Protein backbone atom coordinates (compact mmCIF):
# COMPACT_ATOMS: atom_id res chain seq x y z
CA UNK A 1 0.00 0.00 0.00
CA UNK A 2 2.56 2.51 -1.10
CA UNK A 3 0.22 4.51 -3.32
CA UNK A 4 -2.51 5.35 -0.82
CA UNK A 5 -4.13 8.75 -0.87
CA UNK A 6 -3.43 10.98 2.14
CA UNK A 7 -6.82 10.39 3.77
CA UNK A 8 -6.63 6.60 3.38
CA UNK A 9 -3.06 6.61 4.73
CA UNK A 10 -4.20 8.79 7.65
CA UNK A 11 -6.93 6.28 8.52
CA UNK A 12 -4.54 3.32 8.32
CA UNK A 13 -1.94 4.94 10.55
CA UNK A 14 -4.62 6.20 12.96
CA UNK A 15 -5.80 2.64 13.53
CA UNK A 16 -2.23 1.56 14.25
CA UNK A 17 -1.72 4.33 16.81
CA UNK A 18 -5.08 3.55 18.41
CA UNK A 19 -3.72 0.12 19.38
CA UNK A 20 -0.70 1.63 21.15
CA UNK A 21 -0.48 2.44 24.86
CA UNK A 22 -0.31 6.01 26.20
CA UNK A 23 3.37 5.54 27.01
CA UNK A 24 4.19 4.27 23.54
CA UNK A 25 2.46 7.24 21.94
CA UNK A 26 4.30 9.75 24.13
CA UNK A 27 7.62 8.02 23.46
CA UNK A 28 6.94 8.24 19.73
CA UNK A 29 6.04 11.92 20.05
CA UNK A 30 9.39 12.69 21.67
CA UNK A 31 11.11 12.47 18.28
CA UNK A 32 8.55 13.02 15.51
CA UNK A 33 11.12 14.19 12.96
CA UNK A 34 11.41 10.67 11.51
CA UNK A 35 7.65 10.47 10.84
CA UNK A 36 5.89 11.56 7.68
CA UNK A 37 3.54 14.53 7.81
CA UNK A 38 0.52 12.22 7.66
CA UNK A 39 1.93 10.04 10.47
CA UNK A 40 2.61 13.12 12.59
CA UNK A 41 -0.96 14.32 12.10
CA UNK A 42 -2.38 10.91 13.01
CA UNK A 43 -0.15 10.78 16.09
CA UNK A 44 -1.15 14.27 17.19
CA UNK A 45 -4.82 13.41 16.65
CA UNK A 46 -4.65 10.29 18.83
CA UNK A 47 -2.68 12.06 21.58
CA UNK A 48 -5.18 14.91 21.64
CA UNK A 49 -8.14 12.50 21.55
CA UNK A 50 -6.82 10.75 24.67
CA UNK A 51 -6.16 14.05 26.42
CA UNK A 52 -2.43 13.36 26.78
CA UNK A 53 0.16 16.10 27.17
CA UNK A 54 3.58 16.05 25.53
CA UNK A 55 6.30 17.59 27.76
CA UNK A 56 7.06 21.10 26.54
CA UNK A 57 10.75 20.30 26.20
CA UNK A 58 10.01 17.75 23.50
CA UNK A 59 9.89 18.64 19.79
CA UNK A 60 6.50 19.78 18.60
CA UNK A 61 4.66 17.99 15.84
CA UNK A 62 4.70 19.69 12.46
CA UNK A 63 1.47 21.32 11.27
CA UNK A 64 -1.02 19.49 9.05
CA UNK A 65 0.11 18.72 5.53
CA UNK A 66 -3.12 17.17 4.22
CA UNK A 67 -6.76 18.38 4.21
CA UNK A 68 -7.95 16.27 7.17
CA UNK A 69 -9.43 17.17 10.60
CA UNK A 70 -7.17 19.46 12.58
CA UNK A 71 -5.73 17.57 15.60
CA UNK A 72 -6.32 20.69 17.71
CA UNK A 73 -10.05 20.19 17.13
CA UNK A 74 -10.02 16.44 17.79
CA UNK A 75 -12.48 16.77 20.65
CA UNK A 76 -14.87 18.98 18.70
CA UNK A 77 -18.21 17.73 17.33
CA UNK A 78 -16.86 18.10 13.79
CA UNK A 79 -13.98 15.73 14.51
CA UNK A 80 -16.29 13.27 16.26
CA UNK A 81 -18.45 13.20 13.13
CA UNK A 82 -15.41 12.32 11.00
CA UNK A 83 -14.66 9.31 13.20
CA UNK A 84 -18.28 8.21 13.42
CA UNK A 85 -18.73 4.70 12.01
CA UNK A 86 -21.03 4.45 8.99
CA UNK A 87 -22.47 1.18 7.70
CA UNK A 88 -21.52 0.54 4.09
CA UNK A 89 -23.13 -2.87 3.57
CA UNK A 90 -24.01 -6.24 5.10
CA UNK A 91 -22.14 -9.43 4.23
CA UNK A 92 -23.79 -12.85 4.44
CA UNK A 93 -20.86 -15.22 4.02
CA UNK A 94 -17.19 -15.48 4.83
CA UNK A 95 -16.21 -15.49 1.16
CA UNK A 96 -18.08 -12.22 0.55
CA UNK A 97 -16.46 -10.77 3.66
CA UNK A 98 -13.01 -11.80 2.41
CA UNK A 99 -13.71 -10.26 -0.99
CA UNK A 100 -14.73 -6.99 0.63
CA UNK A 101 -11.79 -7.08 3.03
CA UNK A 102 -9.38 -7.41 0.09
CA UNK A 103 -10.88 -4.39 -1.67
CA UNK A 104 -10.80 -2.20 1.45
CA UNK A 105 -7.33 -3.38 2.48
CA UNK A 106 -5.94 -2.62 -0.98
CA UNK A 107 -7.41 0.89 -0.70
CA UNK A 108 -5.97 1.31 2.81
CA UNK A 109 -9.40 1.86 4.40
CA UNK A 110 -9.89 0.54 7.97
CA UNK A 111 -13.21 -1.26 8.45
CA UNK A 112 -15.16 -2.80 11.30
CA UNK A 113 -17.28 -5.94 10.99
CA UNK A 114 -20.16 -6.91 13.25
CA UNK A 115 -21.02 -5.70 16.76
CA UNK A 116 -17.56 -6.86 17.86
CA UNK A 117 -15.98 -4.25 15.51
CA UNK A 118 -13.61 -6.85 14.09
CA UNK A 119 -10.92 -5.35 11.89
CA UNK A 120 -10.45 -8.57 9.93
CA UNK A 121 -12.59 -11.50 8.82
CA UNK A 122 -10.63 -13.89 11.03
CA UNK A 123 -11.71 -11.93 14.11
CA UNK A 124 -15.44 -12.01 13.33
CA UNK A 125 -17.36 -14.05 15.91
CA UNK A 126 -20.85 -13.23 14.60
CA UNK A 127 -22.75 -15.65 12.39
CA UNK A 128 -22.42 -14.61 8.75
CA UNK A 129 -25.70 -16.43 7.99
CA UNK A 130 -27.47 -13.79 10.10
CA UNK A 131 -25.78 -10.95 8.23
CA UNK A 132 -22.72 -9.04 9.45
CA UNK A 133 -22.61 -5.28 9.04
CA UNK A 134 -19.48 -3.62 7.67
CA UNK A 135 -18.72 -0.06 8.77
CA UNK A 136 -16.03 2.53 8.04
CA UNK A 137 -15.28 5.97 9.49
CA UNK A 138 -17.30 8.83 8.05
CA UNK A 139 -14.15 10.48 6.71
CA UNK A 140 -13.34 7.33 4.73
CA UNK A 141 -16.78 6.81 3.16
CA UNK A 142 -15.93 8.37 -0.25
CA UNK A 143 -12.85 6.18 -0.62
CA UNK A 144 -14.79 3.11 0.55
CA UNK A 145 -17.43 3.71 -2.10
CA UNK A 146 -14.75 3.99 -4.74
CA UNK A 147 -13.11 0.75 -3.57
CA UNK A 148 -16.44 -1.11 -3.47
CA UNK A 149 -17.38 -0.32 -7.07
CA UNK A 150 -16.09 -3.76 -8.10
CA UNK A 151 -17.55 -5.60 -5.10
CA UNK A 152 -19.83 -8.43 -6.29
CA UNK A 153 -21.34 -10.39 -3.37
CA UNK A 154 -22.13 -14.03 -4.11
CA UNK A 155 -24.31 -14.75 -1.10
CA UNK A 156 -26.54 -11.71 -0.63
CA UNK A 157 -29.40 -12.86 1.61
CA UNK A 158 -31.09 -9.49 2.07
CA UNK A 159 -34.84 -10.27 2.32
CA UNK A 160 -36.84 -9.14 -0.70
CA UNK A 161 -38.68 -5.92 0.00
CA UNK A 162 -36.09 -4.97 2.61
CA UNK A 163 -33.16 -4.38 0.32
CA UNK A 164 -31.23 -1.24 1.06
CA UNK A 165 -31.80 1.53 -1.48
CA UNK A 166 -28.99 1.82 -4.00
CA UNK A 167 -26.78 4.86 -3.81
CA UNK A 168 -27.62 7.41 -6.46
CA UNK A 169 -24.72 7.91 -8.89
CA UNK A 170 -22.82 11.17 -8.64
CA UNK A 171 -23.45 13.24 -11.75
CA UNK A 172 -21.47 16.11 -13.18
CA UNK A 173 -23.57 19.29 -12.83
CA UNK A 174 -22.19 20.53 -16.16
CA UNK A 175 -22.52 17.59 -18.57
CA UNK A 176 -24.57 15.15 -16.39
CA UNK A 177 -22.01 12.39 -16.92
CA UNK A 178 -21.64 9.76 -14.18
CA UNK A 179 -17.94 9.32 -14.99
CA UNK A 180 -17.10 11.18 -11.80
CA UNK A 181 -14.10 10.66 -9.53
CA UNK A 182 -13.84 11.74 -5.88
CA UNK A 183 -10.68 13.83 -5.47
CA UNK A 184 -10.34 15.01 -1.87
CA UNK A 185 -11.97 16.65 1.15
CA UNK A 186 -11.50 20.42 1.31
CA UNK A 187 -12.48 23.03 3.94
CA UNK A 188 -15.76 24.87 3.40
CA UNK A 189 -14.60 28.41 2.58
CA UNK A 190 -18.01 29.87 3.48
CA UNK A 191 -17.83 28.67 7.09
CA UNK A 192 -15.81 30.22 9.96
CA UNK A 193 -12.26 28.92 9.91
CA UNK A 194 -12.49 27.51 13.43
CA UNK A 195 -15.50 25.34 12.59
CA UNK A 196 -15.12 24.84 8.84
CA UNK A 197 -16.75 21.54 7.78
CA UNK A 198 -15.27 19.40 5.06
CA UNK A 199 -16.60 19.62 1.50
CA UNK A 200 -16.31 16.90 -1.15
CA UNK A 201 -14.32 17.79 -4.27
CA UNK A 202 -15.24 15.93 -7.45
CA UNK A 203 -13.73 15.78 -10.96
CA UNK A 204 -15.66 14.79 -14.08
CA UNK A 205 -13.60 12.51 -16.33
CA UNK A 206 -15.83 13.36 -19.30
CA UNK A 207 -15.55 17.16 -19.38
CA UNK A 208 -12.87 17.82 -16.68
CA UNK A 209 -15.31 19.99 -14.68
CA UNK A 210 -14.46 20.32 -10.98
CA UNK A 211 -16.89 21.18 -8.17
CA UNK A 212 -17.50 20.84 -4.44
CA UNK A 213 -20.58 19.75 -2.49
CA UNK A 214 -21.62 18.22 0.83
CA UNK A 215 -21.32 14.68 -0.51
CA UNK A 216 -25.06 13.98 -0.45
CA UNK A 217 -26.50 12.89 -3.80
CA UNK A 218 -30.14 13.89 -4.28
CA UNK A 219 -32.66 12.74 -6.85
CA UNK A 220 -33.24 15.20 -9.64
Q: What confidence tens digit (pLDDT) does each residue in 135-160 have?
A: 998 878 888 888 898 899 998 876 65
* In contact, 169 and 217? CB cutoff 8 Å: yes
Domain borders along the chain are 6-81, 84-150, 168-220
* In contact, 162 and 122? CB cutoff 8 Å: no
Mean residue pLDDT across the chain: 75
Domain 168-220 in CATH 2.20.25: yes
Lowest mean pLDDT across 51-55, 65-69, 104-108, 154-158: 65-69
- The strand pair at 198-204 and 180-187 is best described as antiparallel
Based on C-alpha coordinates, what's the Rg of the chain? Answer: 19
Q: Apex CA 88: angle with CA 86 and CA 93, to 5°?
A: 130
Instruction: Tell how many helices (H) and how many strands (E) occur in the chain.
Output: 6, 6
* C-beta neighbour count of 132 within 10 angstroms: 24
Which position has the higher pLDDT, 62 or 4? 4
Taking the complete model, does pTM exceed 0.85, yes or no? no
**129 CB burial (10 A radius; 0-12, 13-18, 19+):** exposed
pLDDT 10s digits, 86-129: 899 999 999 999 999 999 988 888 899 999 999 899 999 999 99
**Mean pLDDT, rounded, for 63-70:** 39
Query: Strands across the sheet with 85-91, in order?
Result: 85-91, 132-137, 112-113
Amino acid sequence: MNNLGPAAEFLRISEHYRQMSDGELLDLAQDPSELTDVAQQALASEISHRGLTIPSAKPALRPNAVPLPDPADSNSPEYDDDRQLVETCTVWSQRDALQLQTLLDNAGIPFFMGPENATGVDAVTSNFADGVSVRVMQVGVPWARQAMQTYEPLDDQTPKGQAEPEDLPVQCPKCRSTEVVFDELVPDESAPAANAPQKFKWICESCAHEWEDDGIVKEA
